[in-house]
């Protein structure tokens, strides 16, 4: 799949692993624009498909959004290691429906690594 994601009846959805991802970490008490870190998910051409932004306790949360086919999701900083592991090593899906972004790894049979 290349280009923009398909817009389905229930929102924007991708069904594949991310060809590329990058991570930014922000220092300082407030981070950058109230974010501690950000994972950017892109297609093989480097076009941005999604942002996953991480917040420390006490940082204000924005609503998840989808704009021009790009999903922005906000999560606690404590989830950064597990989300980074999932997008790098698993086949993940990302959805935007009912005003929320959803990211999940595919189910595997027990014992698969």
Instruction: Name the residue among 92, 80, 81, 110 with its Cα closest to residue 14.
Output: 92
Query: Domain residue spans in the chain?
Result: 9-105
- pLDDT, residue 95, reads 82
Instruction: Name the residue among 107, 26, 40 with its Cα closest to residue 73.
Output: 40
Interior/surface letters 95-105, b for 16+ CB within 10 angstroms, e for the rest: bbeeeebebeb
Helix (H, G, I), strand (E, B) or coil at 60: coil
- pLDDT, residue 28, reads 83
Whether the predicted model's global pTM rises above the 0.95 cut: no
- pLDDT, residue 46, reads 84
Q: Are 104 and 92 in contact (CB under 8 A)?
A: yes
Regions of the chain where pLDDT drops below 70: 1-19, 107-113
Structure tokens, 65: 């959004």
- pLDDT, residue 111, reads 61
């Amino acid at each position: 799949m290349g280009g923009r994601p398909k817009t389905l009846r229930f929102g924007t959805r991708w069904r594949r692993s991310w060809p590329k991802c990058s991570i930014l970490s922000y220092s300082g008490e407030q981070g950058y624009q109230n974010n501690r870190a950000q994972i950017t998910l892109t297609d093989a051409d480097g076009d941005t498909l999604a942002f996953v932004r991480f917040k420390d306790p006490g940082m204000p949360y924005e609503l998840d959004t989808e704009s021009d086919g790009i999903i922005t999701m906000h999560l606690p900083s404590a989830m950064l290691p597990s989300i980074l592991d999932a997008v790098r090593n698993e086949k993940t899906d990302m959805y935007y429906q009912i005003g929320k972004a959803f990211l999940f790894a595919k189910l595997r049979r027990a014992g698969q690594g």
